[in-house]
Structure 1
Amino acid sequence: MSVGAEVRAWRPGLTGIVEVLHAHFPSHAYPSHTHDAWTVLIVDEGAVRYDLDHREHGLAQAQVSLLPPHVPHDGRSVRPEGFRKRVLYLAPDRLGDHLIGAAVDQPEYVDPLLRHRIHQLHGVLQDGLEDLEAQSRLTLIEERLGQHLRRHVIAPPDRYDAGVASRLRDVLDSRVADGITLEDAAKLVHAHPAHLVRAFSREYGMPPHRYLTGRRVDLARRYLLDGYPAAEVASLAGFYDQSHLTRHFRKLLGVTPSSFLRR
């Protein structure tokens, strides 16, 4: 490791992501190597130059890089001050071996929406509390990466489907405290996960995870008004702990649970 390097890596509890890496390398240069996963890379400071399959590429802050599994690549900073990056390593079956050649031909994308979605997912994974939100964001990221790999930057519009959205809402309403994974919800509703997120967001003006959080806050309010202590309410309403409840309660209502009850 180079002098002054900062690295944080962890395996989130999210199916499809095998590792998350946040790193600052003032001087480190990667030798040629391969991964067994898809590497989704964004640069937050500096710029990176790398060779992929013996072809030179560059990555700046406005871009997203997708490096395919099993293909040799290296990496070094363009600037003397080094670079700061965030990486998602996706399981190889999330995009498929048949798309590796397309990624070799075009591994960088100038796509502000994709980059923003990746940034948002890193924030959710760093928190580690919002399972459904992380699943939803990963699904939309993978879909958009697939569009780029198939040389279609803009996805074809979805058929309007209020029925899918309504069925998902019923599922969420029936499992407010227990929650449900996006994959399991898609099986129950008989829709692709990405289509499920878009249809619900279009119909109700918010993504499924935000709707579920709102329902949980509503449930927490009722338990609080019934006299349950906040620590117990957090578990009853589907939050991880009291601080998790307090954060979302304050975000939605502008006050903490204790202030909500104060006369």
Structure 2
Amino acid sequence: MSESAKYTYAKDLNNLEMLQASFRRQTFGKHVHEGFCIGVIEQGAQAFYHSGEIHVADTNSIILVNADEVHTGNSATDYGWSYKAIYPTAEHFELIGSELSQAGCTPYFNQSVLHDPLLASQLKRLYALIADPQNHATLERQTVYLEVMTLLIQRHNRHHFLSPVTGSEHWAIQQIKDYLNANMDQNISLDDLSTLVQLNPHYLVRTFQKATGLPPHAYHVQTRLHQAKALLAHGQPISNVALNTGFTDQSHLNRHFKKAFGVTPGKFQQQARH
């Protein structure tokens, strides 16, 4: 199985992101997505860490990862895996409106791998429509999107909300996240964060990782990568993107970007702009 990855953005679905990929050697380290990951394995099998354990998704199974949840990814076979996935954000789910059991409520999925043939077939139908916008009307694409997302929520949403930390700890974690997001191009030290929230550095790292699944430095890299992705999609030169998001140079960005998204910044930019 050859290595390939193609990103597509459906403008008529509020710029919904879709990935079509085949991997054999690619290994995704711990990372998060801004949106939910909803994918179907088309060939082979993928292994990934999520929610404290290793899962294996084989052919025709569905991968579900909530937004901002830490996970990994690698092949579970010698010959790799192929899959398609979409990454809807909380805002995308708002399009469903009254079809939700709780309108305006962001769903939560507590299963990492689903075996649901009906939903898998409907997701494949949606992926095909997103991949071929020229031959399918906007109305059809939007209607199928609403139908499939509604089906997913009705069958698998669990009204559950995580509260990993409370009180002053919750405030401290949010302050750190806001600070890292606002200063992604800066070389931030642990002392900077400790001073910001008045917590012992060791306790700060332990609490932050418990709340987010990542230590502060890894979370900072993730914020840089998400911003780099947005800048690349808007056509900014790769060298400028690397500089503006805190990577030491273009090769540093390339290394982290390929590991996180399975494609180089240059290739991603070509796909996102067409």
TM-score, normalised via structure 1 length: 0.52
Q: Could you tell me which residue of structure 1 aligns to residue 119 of structure 2? A: 114
Q: Could you tell me which residue of structure 2 aligns to residue 137 of structure 1? A: 144
CA spacing shift, 1:37–1:97, aligned 2, 3 Å: farther
User: Structure 2 CA distance, aligned partners of 1:14 and 1:61?
Assistant: 29
CA spacing shift, 1:116–1:109, aligned 2, 3 Å: same
Instruction: Tell me, yes or no, if the aligned pair for 1:16 and 1:90 is still in contact at 8 Å.
Output: no
* CA displacement 1:2-42 (0-9 Å, x = unmatched): x9421111211232453111111121111010001011111
- 1:59 offset after TM fit, Å? 0.8
Aligned pairs for 1:172-187 (under 5 A) are none
User: Structure 2 CA distance, aligned partners of 1:55 and 1:14?
Assistant: 36
User: Structure 2 CA distance, aligned partners of 1:78 and 1:18?
Assistant: 28
The one-letter code of the counterpart of 2:81 is F
The one-letter code of the counterpart of 2:76 is V
Instruction: Tell me, yes or no, if the aligned pair for 2:60 and 2:115 is still in contact at 8 Å.
Output: yes
Identity level (%): 20
Unpaired runs of 5+ residues, structure 2, are 94-103, 160-274
User: Structure 2 CA distance, aligned partners of 1:93 and 1:106?
Assistant: 22
Q: Could you tell me which residue of structure 2 aligns to residue 79 of structure 1? A: 77
* CA displacement 1:101-158 (0-9 Å, x = unmatched): xx2x312221111111111111111110321111111111111111133369xxxxxx
Instruction: Tell me, yes or no, if the aligned pair for 1:17 and 1:91 is still in contact at 8 Å.
Output: no
Q: Could you tell me which residue of structure 2 aligns to residue 189 of structure 1? A: none
User: Structure 1 CA distance, aligned partners of 2:15 and 2:144?
Assistant: 12
* CA displacement 1:230-250 (0-9 Å, x = unmatched): xxxxxxxxxxxxxxxxxxxxx
Please say which structure displays the higher CA radius of gyration: 1
Q: Secondary structure at the match of 1:44?
A: strand
Q: Secondary structure at the match of 2:87?
A: strand
CA spacing shift, 1:148–1:56, aligned 2, 3 Å: farther
Greater relative contact order (Cα 8 A, min sep 6): structure 1 or 2? 2
Unpaired runs of 5+ residues, structure 1, are 153-263
User: Structure 2 CA distance, aligned partners of 1:122 and 1:4?
Assistant: 21
TM-score, normalised via structure 2 length: 0.50
Asked if 1:45 is matched to 2:53, the reply is: no
Asked if 1:149 is matched to 2:149, the reply is: no
Q: Secondary structure at the match of 1:56?
A: strand
Aligned length: 147
Q: Could you tell me which residue of structure 1 aligns to residue 107 of structure 2? A: 99
